[in-house]
Chains A and B, each alone.
Chain A
Amino acid sequence: MIAPFFIFFAVFTLLPVLIALVISFTDYNMFQEMEFVGFSNYELLFLDDRIFMTALGNTFVFSLVVGPVGFFLSFFAAWVLNQLKMRNAFALAFYAPSITSGIAMSVVWSYIFSPDRYGLINNLLINIGIIDDPILWTQDPNYILPVIIVVAIWMSMGNGFLVFLAGMQNISPGYYEAARIDGIGSRFQELKYITLPLMKPQLLFAAINSVTTSFGVFDVSVSIGGFPSPNYAGHTIVAHLYDYAFVRFQMGYASAIAVVLFVITYALGRLLMRLLSNQNDY
Protein backbone atom coordinates (compact mmCIF):
# COMPACT_ATOMS: atom_id res chain seq x y z
CA MET A 1 0.00 0.00 0.00
CA ILE A 2 2.78 2.37 0.73
CA ALA A 3 4.79 1.31 -2.32
CA PRO A 4 3.31 3.74 -4.90
CA PHE A 5 4.04 6.76 -2.77
CA PHE A 6 7.51 5.73 -1.70
CA ILE A 7 8.65 4.68 -5.17
CA PHE A 8 7.75 8.04 -6.71
CA PHE A 9 9.07 9.76 -3.62
CA ALA A 10 12.43 8.00 -3.79
CA VAL A 11 12.96 8.80 -7.47
CA PHE A 12 11.74 12.39 -7.71
CA THR A 13 12.36 13.78 -4.24
CA LEU A 14 14.81 11.69 -2.27
CA LEU A 15 17.29 11.10 -5.08
CA PRO A 16 17.56 14.83 -5.94
CA VAL A 17 18.06 15.64 -2.25
CA LEU A 18 20.85 13.07 -1.98
CA ILE A 19 22.50 14.37 -5.14
CA ALA A 20 22.36 17.91 -3.71
CA LEU A 21 23.93 16.62 -0.51
CA VAL A 22 26.84 15.15 -2.45
CA ILE A 23 27.21 18.31 -4.54
CA SER A 24 27.58 20.37 -1.36
CA PHE A 25 31.01 18.79 -0.88
CA THR A 26 32.15 19.66 -4.37
CA ASP A 27 33.03 22.56 -6.57
CA TYR A 28 30.54 22.31 -9.42
CA ASN A 29 29.44 24.95 -11.91
CA MET A 30 27.28 22.68 -14.10
CA PHE A 31 29.59 23.00 -17.12
CA GLN A 32 32.86 21.56 -15.89
CA GLU A 33 33.56 18.32 -14.08
CA MET A 34 32.62 18.15 -10.42
CA GLU A 35 35.58 18.51 -8.10
CA PHE A 36 35.50 17.13 -4.58
CA VAL A 37 36.52 19.77 -2.04
CA GLY A 38 35.52 18.32 1.32
CA PHE A 39 34.13 20.77 3.82
CA SER A 40 35.59 23.89 2.24
CA ASN A 41 32.20 25.19 1.07
CA TYR A 42 30.99 25.06 4.65
CA GLU A 43 34.14 26.69 5.98
CA LEU A 44 33.79 29.50 3.48
CA LEU A 45 30.15 29.91 4.37
CA PHE A 46 30.66 30.36 8.08
CA LEU A 47 34.07 32.00 8.26
CA ASP A 48 34.29 34.17 5.20
CA ASP A 49 30.81 35.07 3.98
CA ARG A 50 29.59 38.20 5.75
CA ILE A 51 26.55 38.48 3.49
CA PHE A 52 25.48 34.99 4.49
CA MET A 53 25.57 36.08 8.12
CA THR A 54 23.31 39.02 7.24
CA ALA A 55 20.97 36.64 5.43
CA LEU A 56 20.99 34.27 8.40
CA GLY A 57 20.12 37.10 10.80
CA ASN A 58 17.36 38.46 8.60
CA THR A 59 15.84 35.02 8.13
CA PHE A 60 15.81 34.37 11.87
CA VAL A 61 14.15 37.70 12.64
CA PHE A 62 11.67 37.12 9.83
CA SER A 63 10.83 33.57 10.92
CA LEU A 64 10.50 34.36 14.60
CA VAL A 65 7.81 36.90 13.73
CA VAL A 66 6.09 35.44 10.68
CA GLY A 67 6.01 31.82 11.85
CA PRO A 68 4.18 32.26 15.18
CA VAL A 69 2.05 35.24 14.13
CA GLY A 70 0.90 33.57 10.91
CA PHE A 71 0.22 30.34 12.78
CA PHE A 72 -1.96 31.91 15.48
CA LEU A 73 -3.74 34.30 13.15
CA SER A 74 -4.71 31.56 10.72
CA PHE A 75 -5.90 29.34 13.55
CA PHE A 76 -7.90 32.13 15.07
CA ALA A 77 -9.41 33.10 11.71
CA ALA A 78 -10.39 29.48 11.00
CA TRP A 79 -11.89 29.10 14.45
CA VAL A 80 -14.02 32.23 14.24
CA LEU A 81 -14.96 31.69 10.62
CA ASN A 82 -16.05 28.15 11.29
CA GLN A 83 -18.82 29.49 13.51
CA LEU A 84 -20.18 32.05 11.10
CA LYS A 85 -22.95 31.86 8.59
CA MET A 86 -21.83 32.19 4.97
CA ARG A 87 -18.71 30.40 6.08
CA ASN A 88 -17.75 29.45 2.52
CA ALA A 89 -17.86 32.99 1.19
CA PHE A 90 -15.68 34.17 4.06
CA ALA A 91 -13.31 31.28 3.54
CA LEU A 92 -12.94 32.10 -0.15
CA ALA A 93 -12.17 35.74 0.58
CA PHE A 94 -9.64 34.69 3.17
CA TYR A 95 -7.97 32.22 0.81
CA ALA A 96 -7.93 34.78 -2.04
CA PRO A 97 -4.28 35.78 -1.57
CA SER A 98 -3.24 32.18 -2.18
CA ILE A 99 -5.41 31.81 -5.28
CA THR A 100 -4.31 35.00 -6.95
CA SER A 101 -0.63 34.58 -6.22
CA GLY A 102 1.70 36.55 -8.40
CA ILE A 103 0.91 39.64 -10.37
CA ALA A 104 -2.34 40.69 -8.71
CA MET A 105 -0.74 40.37 -5.29
CA SER A 106 2.33 42.40 -6.01
CA VAL A 107 0.27 45.16 -7.63
CA VAL A 108 -1.86 45.48 -4.51
CA TRP A 109 1.20 45.63 -2.29
CA SER A 110 3.15 48.02 -4.41
CA TYR A 111 0.13 50.31 -4.30
CA ILE A 112 -0.12 50.15 -0.53
CA PHE A 113 3.61 50.59 0.15
CA SER A 114 4.42 52.76 -2.82
CA PRO A 115 7.38 55.01 -1.87
CA ASP A 116 5.85 58.16 -3.45
CA ARG A 117 3.12 60.28 -1.93
CA TYR A 118 0.39 58.43 -3.82
CA GLY A 119 1.04 55.17 -1.97
CA LEU A 120 -1.81 54.29 0.35
CA ILE A 121 0.13 54.40 3.62
CA ASN A 122 2.28 57.42 2.75
CA ASN A 123 -0.80 59.28 1.59
CA LEU A 124 -2.58 58.47 4.82
CA LEU A 125 0.36 59.44 7.05
CA ILE A 126 0.92 62.71 5.19
CA ASN A 127 -2.76 63.62 5.41
CA ILE A 128 -2.89 62.98 9.14
CA GLY A 129 0.27 65.02 9.51
CA ILE A 130 2.55 62.40 11.04
CA ILE A 131 5.16 62.73 8.29
CA ASP A 132 5.96 65.46 5.78
CA ASP A 133 7.85 63.48 3.19
CA PRO A 134 6.93 60.03 1.88
CA ILE A 135 8.76 57.11 3.49
CA LEU A 136 10.73 54.93 1.09
CA TRP A 137 9.14 51.72 2.36
CA THR A 138 10.71 49.41 -0.16
CA GLN A 139 14.07 51.16 -0.57
CA ASP A 140 15.10 52.31 2.89
CA PRO A 141 17.08 49.48 4.57
CA ASN A 142 15.35 50.30 7.87
CA TYR A 143 11.92 49.52 6.50
CA ILE A 144 12.45 46.71 4.00
CA LEU A 145 12.44 43.82 6.46
CA PRO A 146 9.38 45.01 8.43
CA VAL A 147 7.45 45.50 5.18
CA ILE A 148 8.45 42.03 3.98
CA ILE A 149 7.27 40.62 7.32
CA VAL A 150 3.85 42.26 7.10
CA VAL A 151 3.27 41.14 3.53
CA ALA A 152 4.50 37.62 4.26
CA ILE A 153 2.18 37.18 7.22
CA TRP A 154 -0.74 38.14 5.06
CA MET A 155 0.28 35.83 2.23
CA SER A 156 1.31 32.84 4.30
CA MET A 157 -1.96 32.21 6.08
CA GLY A 158 -3.92 30.51 3.29
CA ASN A 159 -2.82 26.90 3.52
CA GLY A 160 -2.59 26.72 7.30
CA PHE A 161 -6.03 28.25 7.47
CA LEU A 162 -7.50 25.60 5.13
CA VAL A 163 -5.92 22.77 7.10
CA PHE A 164 -7.33 24.17 10.35
CA LEU A 165 -10.80 24.48 8.82
CA ALA A 166 -10.63 20.86 7.69
CA GLY A 167 -9.34 19.77 11.09
CA MET A 168 -12.28 21.44 12.81
CA GLN A 169 -14.65 19.50 10.59
CA ASN A 170 -12.88 16.34 11.62
CA ILE A 171 -14.03 16.68 15.22
CA SER A 172 -17.32 14.97 15.89
CA PRO A 173 -20.09 17.28 17.18
CA GLY A 174 -20.72 14.56 19.74
CA TYR A 175 -17.74 15.80 21.75
CA TYR A 176 -19.20 19.27 22.03
CA GLU A 177 -22.60 17.93 23.00
CA ALA A 178 -21.07 15.75 25.70
CA ALA A 179 -19.02 18.67 26.93
CA ARG A 180 -22.08 20.83 27.22
CA ILE A 181 -23.70 18.22 29.44
CA ASP A 182 -20.54 18.19 31.53
CA GLY A 183 -20.97 21.91 32.06
CA ILE A 184 -18.54 23.43 29.57
CA GLY A 185 -20.25 26.67 28.72
CA SER A 186 -18.22 29.21 26.83
CA ARG A 187 -16.67 28.96 23.39
CA PHE A 188 -13.26 29.51 24.88
CA GLN A 189 -13.63 26.57 27.22
CA GLU A 190 -14.68 24.45 24.26
CA LEU A 191 -11.60 25.65 22.44
CA LYS A 192 -9.33 24.79 25.33
CA TYR A 193 -10.73 21.40 26.32
CA ILE A 194 -11.97 19.97 23.02
CA THR A 195 -10.88 21.74 19.86
CA LEU A 196 -7.20 22.23 20.68
CA PRO A 197 -6.47 18.77 22.13
CA LEU A 198 -8.31 17.02 19.30
CA MET A 199 -6.58 19.07 16.63
CA LYS A 200 -3.06 18.23 17.69
CA PRO A 201 -2.18 16.52 14.40
CA GLN A 202 -3.26 19.55 12.37
CA LEU A 203 -1.54 21.93 14.76
CA LEU A 204 1.69 19.99 14.38
CA PHE A 205 1.36 19.97 10.62
CA ALA A 206 0.77 23.70 10.45
CA ALA A 207 3.56 24.44 12.92
CA ILE A 208 6.15 22.42 11.00
CA ASN A 209 4.92 24.00 7.84
CA SER A 210 5.30 27.52 9.20
CA VAL A 211 8.88 26.70 10.16
CA THR A 212 9.81 25.41 6.71
CA THR A 213 8.01 28.12 4.77
CA SER A 214 9.18 31.01 6.94
CA PHE A 215 12.80 29.86 6.87
CA GLY A 216 12.45 29.27 3.15
CA VAL A 217 11.26 32.82 2.47
CA PHE A 218 12.39 34.17 -0.86
CA ASP A 219 9.68 35.32 -3.29
CA VAL A 220 8.21 37.99 -1.01
CA SER A 221 11.59 39.33 -0.11
CA VAL A 222 12.58 39.70 -3.76
CA SER A 223 9.31 41.19 -4.96
CA ILE A 224 9.44 43.85 -2.26
CA GLY A 225 13.07 44.56 -1.58
CA GLY A 226 14.48 43.67 -4.99
CA PHE A 227 17.35 41.31 -5.68
CA PRO A 228 19.74 41.98 -4.11
CA SER A 229 17.99 44.38 -1.77
CA PRO A 230 19.61 47.71 -0.78
CA ASN A 231 22.34 47.04 1.77
CA TYR A 232 21.13 43.39 1.83
CA ALA A 233 18.42 44.55 4.24
CA GLY A 234 15.94 42.02 2.88
CA HIS A 235 18.46 39.30 2.00
CA THR A 236 17.43 35.82 3.18
CA ILE A 237 19.07 32.39 3.26
CA VAL A 238 17.22 31.23 0.17
CA ALA A 239 17.94 34.52 -1.62
CA HIS A 240 21.61 33.82 -0.96
CA LEU A 241 21.19 30.26 -2.18
CA TYR A 242 19.42 31.45 -5.33
CA ASP A 243 22.17 33.95 -5.97
CA TYR A 244 24.85 31.24 -5.97
CA ALA A 245 22.79 28.57 -7.75
CA PHE A 246 21.18 30.50 -10.58
CA VAL A 247 23.22 33.68 -10.93
CA ARG A 248 26.80 32.54 -10.23
CA PHE A 249 26.25 28.84 -11.04
CA GLN A 250 28.24 27.71 -8.02
CA MET A 251 26.11 24.68 -7.28
CA GLY A 252 28.45 23.27 -4.64
CA TYR A 253 28.26 26.41 -2.54
CA ALA A 254 24.49 26.74 -3.08
CA SER A 255 23.96 23.14 -1.97
CA ALA A 256 26.00 23.77 1.16
CA ILE A 257 23.67 26.68 1.97
CA ALA A 258 20.69 24.36 1.47
CA VAL A 259 22.20 21.82 3.85
CA VAL A 260 22.73 24.46 6.54
CA LEU A 261 19.15 25.66 6.07
CA PHE A 262 17.98 22.07 6.30
CA VAL A 263 19.82 21.47 9.57
CA ILE A 264 18.22 24.58 11.12
CA THR A 265 14.66 23.74 10.05
CA TYR A 266 15.04 20.08 10.92
CA ALA A 267 16.23 20.86 14.44
CA LEU A 268 13.32 23.27 14.98
CA GLY A 269 10.90 20.78 13.45
CA ARG A 270 12.07 18.04 15.84
CA LEU A 271 11.59 20.39 18.76
CA LEU A 272 8.04 21.21 17.67
CA MET A 273 7.24 17.53 17.22
CA ARG A 274 8.40 16.78 20.72
CA LEU A 275 6.25 19.62 22.06
CA LEU A 276 3.13 18.85 20.10
CA SER A 277 2.88 15.12 19.57
CA ASN A 278 1.77 12.49 22.03
CA GLN A 279 4.29 10.13 23.56
CA ASN A 280 3.04 7.10 21.65
CA ASP A 281 3.06 8.94 18.35
CA TYR A 282 5.93 9.38 16.00
Chain B
Amino acid sequence: MTLIKRKITGNRLRRSGKWFFVYAIMILLVAFTALPLVYLVSTAFKPLHELYVFPPKFLVQQPTLRNFSNLLLSLSSSAVPFTRYLFNSVVITILTVGGTIFVSTLGAYGLVKHNPPGAKRLFDIVIAALMFSPYVTQIPRYLVINAMGLINSYAALILPSIAVAYNFFLIKQFVEQFPNDLLEAARIDGAGEMKIYWSIVMPSLKPAWATLLVMTFVSTWNDYFSPLIYLNSQALKTLPLALNTISGGGSSIGRAGAVAAATMLMTIPTVIVFTLMQRKVMETMMHSGIKE
Protein backbone atom coordinates (compact mmCIF):
# COMPACT_ATOMS: atom_id res chain seq x y z
CA MET B 1 0.00 0.00 0.00
CA THR B 2 1.24 3.44 -0.75
CA LEU B 3 1.35 6.15 1.84
CA ILE B 4 -1.30 8.18 0.08
CA LYS B 5 -3.59 5.19 -0.06
CA ARG B 6 -3.18 4.68 3.66
CA LYS B 7 -3.98 8.23 4.43
CA ILE B 8 -7.19 8.01 2.46
CA THR B 9 -8.17 4.86 4.33
CA GLY B 10 -7.40 6.51 7.64
CA ASN B 11 -9.44 9.57 6.92
CA ARG B 12 -12.38 7.61 5.76
CA LEU B 13 -12.41 5.41 8.82
CA ARG B 14 -12.02 8.38 11.10
CA ARG B 15 -14.82 10.21 9.43
CA SER B 16 -17.18 7.33 9.97
CA GLY B 17 -16.13 7.23 13.59
CA LYS B 18 -14.97 3.62 13.51
CA TRP B 19 -11.28 4.35 13.74
CA PHE B 20 -11.03 4.35 17.50
CA PHE B 21 -13.32 1.37 17.81
CA VAL B 22 -11.27 -0.74 15.40
CA TYR B 23 -8.07 0.02 17.28
CA ALA B 24 -9.63 -0.78 20.64
CA ILE B 25 -10.81 -4.20 19.44
CA MET B 26 -7.53 -5.04 17.77
CA ILE B 27 -5.50 -4.04 20.82
CA LEU B 28 -7.67 -6.27 23.01
CA LEU B 29 -7.35 -9.20 20.62
CA VAL B 30 -3.63 -8.74 20.17
CA ALA B 31 -3.02 -8.31 23.90
CA PHE B 32 -4.58 -11.72 24.27
CA THR B 33 -2.56 -13.43 21.55
CA ALA B 34 0.64 -11.83 22.84
CA LEU B 35 0.20 -13.46 26.27
CA PRO B 36 2.65 -16.32 25.75
CA LEU B 37 5.31 -13.87 24.60
CA VAL B 38 4.76 -11.71 27.68
CA TYR B 39 4.86 -14.77 29.89
CA LEU B 40 8.11 -15.90 28.27
CA VAL B 41 9.88 -12.60 28.94
CA SER B 42 8.38 -12.23 32.39
CA THR B 43 9.45 -15.72 33.48
CA ALA B 44 13.02 -15.19 32.31
CA PHE B 45 13.40 -12.40 34.87
CA LYS B 46 11.69 -14.19 37.78
CA PRO B 47 13.75 -14.90 40.90
CA LEU B 48 13.77 -18.50 42.14
CA HIS B 49 11.02 -18.16 44.73
CA GLU B 50 8.62 -16.65 42.20
CA LEU B 51 9.15 -19.52 39.76
CA TYR B 52 7.72 -21.94 42.29
CA VAL B 53 5.07 -19.83 43.95
CA PHE B 54 1.56 -21.26 44.08
CA PRO B 55 -0.82 -20.11 42.72
CA PRO B 56 1.55 -18.97 39.96
CA LYS B 57 1.89 -15.28 39.22
CA PHE B 58 1.75 -14.32 35.58
CA LEU B 59 3.98 -11.28 35.79
CA VAL B 60 7.33 -10.99 37.52
CA GLN B 61 7.24 -9.09 40.84
CA GLN B 62 10.93 -8.57 41.57
CA PRO B 63 12.85 -8.84 38.29
CA THR B 64 16.38 -10.25 38.48
CA LEU B 65 19.18 -11.10 36.06
CA ARG B 66 20.19 -14.15 38.10
CA ASN B 67 18.70 -16.52 35.53
CA PHE B 68 20.93 -15.17 32.80
CA SER B 69 24.08 -15.43 34.89
CA ASN B 70 23.08 -18.97 35.89
CA LEU B 71 22.61 -19.77 32.22
CA LEU B 72 26.12 -18.52 31.41
CA LEU B 73 27.49 -20.57 34.27
CA SER B 74 25.85 -23.83 33.21
CA LEU B 75 26.83 -23.23 29.59
CA SER B 76 30.48 -22.70 30.42
CA SER B 77 30.54 -25.96 32.38
CA SER B 78 29.30 -28.10 29.48
CA ALA B 79 31.75 -30.30 27.58
CA VAL B 80 30.84 -28.95 24.13
CA PRO B 81 31.11 -25.16 23.91
CA PHE B 82 27.79 -23.42 23.58
CA THR B 83 28.91 -21.61 20.41
CA ARG B 84 29.08 -25.01 18.73
CA TYR B 85 25.34 -25.57 19.23
CA LEU B 86 24.65 -22.07 18.03
CA PHE B 87 26.76 -22.69 14.93
CA ASN B 88 24.92 -25.96 14.18
CA SER B 89 21.53 -24.32 14.53
CA VAL B 90 22.49 -21.37 12.36
CA VAL B 91 23.99 -23.51 9.58
CA ILE B 92 21.05 -25.92 9.49
CA THR B 93 18.46 -23.14 9.58
CA ILE B 94 20.11 -21.04 6.88
CA LEU B 95 20.63 -23.97 4.50
CA THR B 96 17.10 -25.30 5.02
CA VAL B 97 15.42 -21.92 4.60
CA GLY B 98 17.55 -20.96 1.58
CA GLY B 99 17.18 -24.39 0.02
CA THR B 100 13.42 -24.60 0.34
CA ILE B 101 12.88 -21.07 -0.98
CA PHE B 102 15.11 -21.77 -3.97
CA VAL B 103 13.66 -25.12 -5.05
CA SER B 104 10.06 -24.14 -4.27
CA THR B 105 10.10 -20.86 -6.20
CA LEU B 106 12.02 -22.35 -9.13
CA GLY B 107 9.82 -25.43 -9.23
CA ALA B 108 6.53 -23.55 -8.87
CA TYR B 109 7.53 -21.04 -11.52
CA GLY B 110 8.58 -23.80 -13.90
CA LEU B 111 5.42 -25.79 -13.31
CA VAL B 112 2.96 -22.91 -13.66
CA LYS B 113 4.52 -20.75 -16.32
CA HIS B 114 6.21 -23.38 -18.51
CA ASN B 115 3.44 -25.88 -18.01
CA PRO B 116 5.45 -29.01 -18.89
CA PRO B 117 3.48 -32.15 -19.88
CA GLY B 118 2.00 -33.80 -16.81
CA ALA B 119 2.11 -30.58 -14.79
CA LYS B 120 -1.40 -31.07 -13.51
CA ARG B 121 -0.67 -34.65 -12.48
CA LEU B 122 2.52 -33.57 -10.68
CA PHE B 123 0.67 -30.89 -8.78
CA ASP B 124 -2.03 -33.38 -7.78
CA ILE B 125 0.67 -35.59 -6.31
CA VAL B 126 2.09 -32.70 -4.30
CA ILE B 127 -1.37 -31.91 -2.91
CA ALA B 128 -1.96 -35.55 -2.08
CA ALA B 129 1.36 -35.74 -0.22
CA LEU B 130 0.38 -32.64 1.74
CA MET B 131 -2.58 -34.54 3.12
CA PHE B 132 -0.77 -37.63 4.28
CA SER B 133 -0.25 -37.59 8.03
CA PRO B 134 3.41 -36.78 8.75
CA TYR B 135 3.38 -39.01 11.83
CA VAL B 136 3.07 -42.18 9.85
CA THR B 137 5.72 -41.23 7.29
CA GLN B 138 8.25 -40.60 10.07
CA ILE B 139 9.34 -44.19 10.22
CA PRO B 140 9.56 -44.89 6.46
CA ARG B 141 11.43 -41.61 6.15
CA TYR B 142 13.87 -42.70 8.81
CA LEU B 143 14.41 -45.92 6.87
CA VAL B 144 15.10 -43.95 3.67
CA ILE B 145 17.54 -41.56 5.34
CA ASN B 146 19.23 -44.43 7.09
CA ALA B 147 19.58 -46.36 3.82
CA MET B 148 21.23 -43.34 2.26
CA GLY B 149 23.78 -43.26 5.07
CA LEU B 150 22.83 -39.75 6.13
CA ILE B 151 22.27 -40.45 9.82
CA ASN B 152 24.33 -38.18 12.05
CA SER B 153 24.93 -35.49 9.45
CA TYR B 154 23.56 -32.04 8.74
CA ALA B 155 22.13 -33.48 5.51
CA ALA B 156 19.71 -35.71 7.44
CA LEU B 157 18.05 -32.60 8.81
CA ILE B 158 18.34 -30.32 5.80
CA LEU B 159 17.58 -32.43 2.71
CA PRO B 160 14.16 -33.80 3.78
CA SER B 161 12.99 -30.30 4.73
CA ILE B 162 13.82 -28.71 1.40
CA ALA B 163 11.14 -30.08 -0.91
CA VAL B 164 8.05 -29.68 1.27
CA ALA B 165 4.61 -29.99 -0.31
CA TYR B 166 3.19 -27.22 1.85
CA ASN B 167 5.90 -24.76 0.77
CA PHE B 168 5.51 -25.63 -2.90
CA PHE B 169 1.75 -25.20 -2.76
CA LEU B 170 2.12 -21.81 -1.04
CA ILE B 171 4.53 -20.42 -3.64
CA LYS B 172 2.58 -21.90 -6.53
CA GLN B 173 -0.54 -20.00 -5.48
CA PHE B 174 1.36 -16.72 -5.69
CA VAL B 175 3.07 -17.57 -8.99
CA GLU B 176 -0.37 -18.05 -10.55
CA GLN B 177 -1.10 -14.37 -9.99
CA PHE B 178 1.98 -13.31 -11.91
CA PRO B 179 1.04 -11.69 -15.24
CA ASN B 180 2.10 -13.66 -18.33
CA ASP B 181 2.52 -10.53 -20.46
CA LEU B 182 5.51 -9.50 -18.43
CA LEU B 183 7.24 -12.82 -19.06
CA GLU B 184 6.49 -12.55 -22.78
CA ALA B 185 7.93 -9.04 -22.86
CA ALA B 186 11.09 -10.17 -21.08
CA ARG B 187 11.52 -13.10 -23.48
CA ILE B 188 11.12 -10.83 -26.47
CA ASP B 189 13.80 -8.62 -24.98
CA GLY B 190 16.04 -11.68 -25.04
CA ALA B 191 16.28 -12.35 -21.30
CA GLY B 192 17.37 -15.92 -20.45
CA GLU B 193 15.10 -18.13 -18.35
CA MET B 194 17.26 -17.99 -15.25
CA LYS B 195 17.57 -14.24 -15.60
CA ILE B 196 13.79 -13.90 -15.82
CA TYR B 197 13.41 -16.12 -12.76
CA TRP B 198 15.97 -14.22 -10.72
CA SER B 199 15.39 -10.61 -11.66
CA ILE B 200 11.70 -10.53 -12.58
CA VAL B 201 9.88 -13.38 -10.90
CA MET B 202 11.70 -13.43 -7.56
CA PRO B 203 11.33 -9.71 -6.73
CA SER B 204 7.62 -9.80 -7.41
CA LEU B 205 7.22 -12.97 -5.35
CA LYS B 206 8.71 -11.21 -2.35
CA PRO B 207 5.54 -11.40 -0.19
CA ALA B 208 5.38 -15.13 -0.86
CA TRP B 209 8.95 -16.09 -0.11
CA ALA B 210 9.29 -13.65 2.78
CA THR B 211 6.31 -15.41 4.36
CA LEU B 212 7.75 -18.83 3.61
CA LEU B 213 11.06 -17.69 5.08
CA VAL B 214 9.41 -16.78 8.39
CA MET B 215 7.49 -20.06 8.60
CA THR B 216 10.46 -22.23 7.73
CA PHE B 217 12.75 -20.29 10.03
CA VAL B 218 10.39 -20.73 12.97
CA SER B 219 9.90 -24.44 12.40
CA THR B 220 13.58 -25.25 11.72
CA TRP B 221 15.00 -23.08 14.47
CA ASN B 222 12.66 -24.59 17.08
CA ASP B 223 12.70 -28.14 15.72
CA TYR B 224 13.38 -30.55 18.52
CA PHE B 225 12.40 -33.94 17.19
CA SER B 226 14.35 -34.28 13.93
CA PRO B 227 17.71 -33.50 15.57
CA LEU B 228 16.79 -35.88 18.37
CA ILE B 229 16.04 -38.70 15.93
CA TYR B 230 18.74 -38.16 13.32
CA LEU B 231 21.76 -36.95 15.31
CA ASN B 232 23.72 -38.91 17.88
CA SER B 233 26.92 -36.94 18.04
CA GLN B 234 27.05 -34.34 20.78
CA ALA B 235 29.02 -31.96 18.53
CA LEU B 236 26.24 -31.84 15.93
CA LYS B 237 23.39 -31.06 18.30
CA THR B 238 21.30 -27.93 17.89
CA LEU B 239 20.11 -25.31 20.35
CA PRO B 240 16.74 -26.86 21.24
CA LEU B 241 18.52 -30.09 22.18
CA ALA B 242 21.17 -28.21 24.13
CA LEU B 243 18.40 -26.42 25.96
CA ASN B 244 16.96 -29.74 26.95
CA THR B 245 20.35 -30.85 28.28
CA ILE B 246 20.49 -27.77 30.47
CA SER B 247 17.05 -28.37 31.93
CA GLY B 248 17.39 -32.11 32.44
CA GLY B 249 21.13 -32.42 32.87
CA GLY B 250 21.41 -31.19 36.44
CA SER B 251 19.23 -32.01 39.36
CA SER B 252 19.52 -28.51 40.82
CA ILE B 253 16.19 -26.72 40.91
CA GLY B 254 17.81 -23.42 39.93
CA ARG B 255 18.04 -24.67 36.34
CA ALA B 256 14.39 -23.83 35.71
CA GLY B 257 15.29 -20.15 35.72
CA ALA B 258 18.19 -20.74 33.34
CA VAL B 259 15.87 -22.58 30.98
CA ALA B 260 13.40 -19.71 31.03
CA ALA B 261 16.23 -17.30 30.21
CA ALA B 262 17.49 -19.53 27.40
CA THR B 263 13.99 -19.93 25.96
CA MET B 264 13.63 -16.19 25.83
CA LEU B 265 17.00 -15.75 24.13
CA MET B 266 16.04 -18.48 21.61
CA THR B 267 12.97 -16.48 20.66
CA ILE B 268 14.81 -13.23 19.91
CA PRO B 269 16.18 -14.25 16.46
CA THR B 270 12.68 -15.36 15.46
CA VAL B 271 11.23 -11.99 16.38
CA ILE B 272 13.98 -10.21 14.44
CA VAL B 273 13.48 -12.37 11.34
CA PHE B 274 9.73 -11.89 11.54
CA THR B 275 10.02 -8.11 11.76
CA LEU B 276 12.54 -7.84 8.93
CA MET B 277 10.48 -10.03 6.64
CA GLN B 278 7.22 -8.23 7.35
CA ARG B 279 8.99 -5.04 6.35
CA LYS B 280 10.03 -6.73 3.11
CA VAL B 281 6.46 -7.84 2.45
CA MET B 282 5.32 -4.25 2.89
CA GLU B 283 7.99 -2.88 0.57
CA THR B 284 6.71 -4.85 -2.40
CA MET B 285 3.96 -2.50 -3.33
CA MET B 286 5.87 0.65 -2.57
CA HIS B 287 8.10 0.29 -5.57
CA SER B 288 6.17 -2.04 -7.74
CA GLY B 289 6.92 -1.27 -11.31
CA ILE B 290 6.25 -4.91 -11.84
CA LYS B 291 2.63 -5.64 -11.23
CA GLU B 292 -0.04 -5.31 -13.83
Mark A residues whose CB is within 8 Å of B.
Answer: 1-2, 4-9, 11-17, 19-20, 23, 30, 77, 80-85, 87-88, 90-105, 107-108, 111, 116, 118, 154, 159, 162-163, 165-167, 169-170, 172-174, 176-177, 187, 198, 201-202, 204-205, 208-209, 211-212, 216, 218, 238, 241-242, 245, 251, 254-255, 257-258, 261-262, 265-266, 269, 281-282
Contacts and interface: CB of A to CB of B under 8 A. Distances in A.
B145 to A, nearest CB: 8
B267 A100 contact: yes
Given A4-B103, A166-B174, 16 more contacts: A2-B110, A9-B126, A9-B129, A17-B140, A20-B139, A77-B29, A92-B278, A99-B271, A101-B218, A102-B222, A104-B37, A104-B39, A172-B285, A212-B130, A218-B135, A282-B124
A8 B150 CA distance: 14
6 contacts: A1-B107, A17-B140, A108-B36, A173-B5, A187-B9, A258-B135
A11 B168 CA distance: 16
B160 A163 contact: no
Contacts of A13: 129, 137, 160, 163-165
B28 to A, nearest CB: 11
Interface stretch (B61-69, B77-85, B184-192, B209-217): B209-217
Contacts, number: 253
B55 A118 contact: yes
A208 B177 contact: no
B107 A5 contact: yes
B246 to A, nearest CB: 13
B284 interface: yes
Contact of A172 (B31, B197, B292): B292
Nearest to A199: B177
B168 A169 contact: no
Contacts of B39: 104, 107-108
A245 B139 CA distance: 9
Interface of B: 1-2, 5-6, 9-10, 12-13, 22-23, 26, 29-31, 33-37, 39-40, 43, 55-56, 58, 102-104, 106-111, 114, 116, 120, 122-141, 143-145, 159-160, 162-166, 168-170, 173-174, 176-177, 193, 197, 207-208, 210-211, 214-215, 218, 222, 263, 267, 270-271, 274-275, 278-279, 281-282, 284-285, 288, 291-292
Contacts of B281: 165-166, 169
B104 to A, nearest CB: 6
Contact of A162 (B55, B143, B215): B215
Nearest to A24: B136
A4 B108 CA distance: 11
A116 B55 CA distance: 10
A98 B218 contact: yes
Nearest to A246: B135
Given A2-B107, A83-B9, A251 B139 contact: yes
A261 B131 CA distance: 8
A108 B106 CA distance: 41
Contact of A104 (B129, B163, B263): B263
A216 B133 CA distance: 7
B263 to A, nearest CB: 7
A104 B40 contact: yes
B33 A93 contact: yes
B197 to A, nearest CB: 8
Nearest to A244: B136
Contacts of A216: 133-134
Query: Interface centre among A5, A30, A82, A173, by most B CB within 10 Å?
Result: A5
B173 A6 contact: no
Contact of A105 (B36, B107, B114): B36
Contact of A19 (B143, B267, B271): B143
A241 B132 CA distance: 12
Contact of B282 (A87, A100, A107, A261): A87
Contacts of B168: 5, 9
Contacts of A254: 136
A14 B160 CA distance: 11
A19 B12 CA distance: 58
Nearest to A22: B140
Contacts of A165: 207, 211, 278, 281
A8 B128 CA distance: 16
